A = this chain, B = another copy of it.
Amino acid sequence: MTNDTLLNKIRQANPLVHSITNQVVANDVANSLLAIGASPMMAIAPEEMEEVTGFAEAIVLNIGTLTTEILEAMLIVGRAANQRGIPVILDPVGGGATQYRQEAVSILLKEVTVQLITGNAGEMAYLAGVDWSSKGVDAGTGMTSGKMIAERVAHRYQTVAAVSGKEDFVSDGQTTVGILNGDPMLTQVTGTGCMLSGICGAFLAVDKYDTLESTVKACTAYGVAAEMARDNQDVKGPGSFRVSLMDALYNLSEKNIHDKKNVKRYNANNSKEEDNE
């Protein structure tokens, strides 16, 4: 992997990432985009969504606090981005939880071509059509649940899929990569998944032609930043971890990523191959 330099590209180009995200995490998403080196835009009015694609370099759609108006805005910006070749990332927060969200995700995936779908195992399992609540989708097969879910979502929607968890999995349906960086404290702060999908937007903005690799880089960078945040001795809980995470995203260097990355590639017969050179 020679494109560890994507982080530096973001910091040189400051790509504008337009996020329609949920109102719980909008501030953290914007600040994490700034910290990684991108320019956040967070407009939501349907009336300006088409025009936004005139200068946005990636679009992130997050359905956390979806409403009818927000869905309308997402469809407009998504279609316009497709026409202009701007990458679209979908974060189907709470995806399968209600029929309303199920239908919204279905419409979005029908009307908009997305380069990347990213979510936690439960959200992505819904898209994969597997029953995550049973927590037994892969019992007896030896496969990691998250891995299978990522592969199925990628295959089903002909896209790249990223499933966050203790090990993150990114798959394009052919190749699957596992990222072991990160920290459990990420689960104790709201919106850390939303921040990751935003950061994926920043990485895809500077390399939209290899979505799998851009997404792996994004997940690795974010996971390493989380480890740096955790290693800060002033961190006493989720409040200070969140502050420290923002600092770590800002201070993150290619060297930090190179030194700490813990990435595994899975080939067709499912054996692991380390990729930490």
Contact = CB atoms under 8 A, between A and B. Distances in A.
Given A27-B190, A239-B250, 11 more contacts: A22-B42, A23-B26, A27-B191, A31-B189, A35-B238, A41-B94, A41-B97, A42-B64, A55-B97, A242-B243, A242-B246
A99 B48 contact: yes
A51 B243 contact: no
Contacts of A47: 68, 100
Copies of this chain, complex-wide, total: 3
A35 B187 CA distance: 10
A28 interface: yes
A48 B250 contact: no
Interface of A: 22-28, 30-31, 34-35, 40-45, 47-48, 51-52, 55, 64-69, 94, 97-101, 188-191, 232, 234, 236-240, 242-251
A248 B238 CA distance: 9
Which among A27, A69, A97, A188 has the greatest number of chain B C-beta atoms within 10 A? A27
Given A65-B43, A190-B34, A51 B237 contact: no
17 contacts: A22-B42, A24-B26, A27-B28, A31-B238, A31-B239, A31-B242, A34-B188, A40-B190, A43-B64, A45-B65, A48-B101, A51-B98, A55-B97, A237-B249, A238-B247, A239-B243, A240-B243
A244 to B, nearest CB: 6
Nearest to A189: B31
Contacts of A52: 97-98
Given A51-B99, A239-B246, A248-B237, A27 B30 contact: no
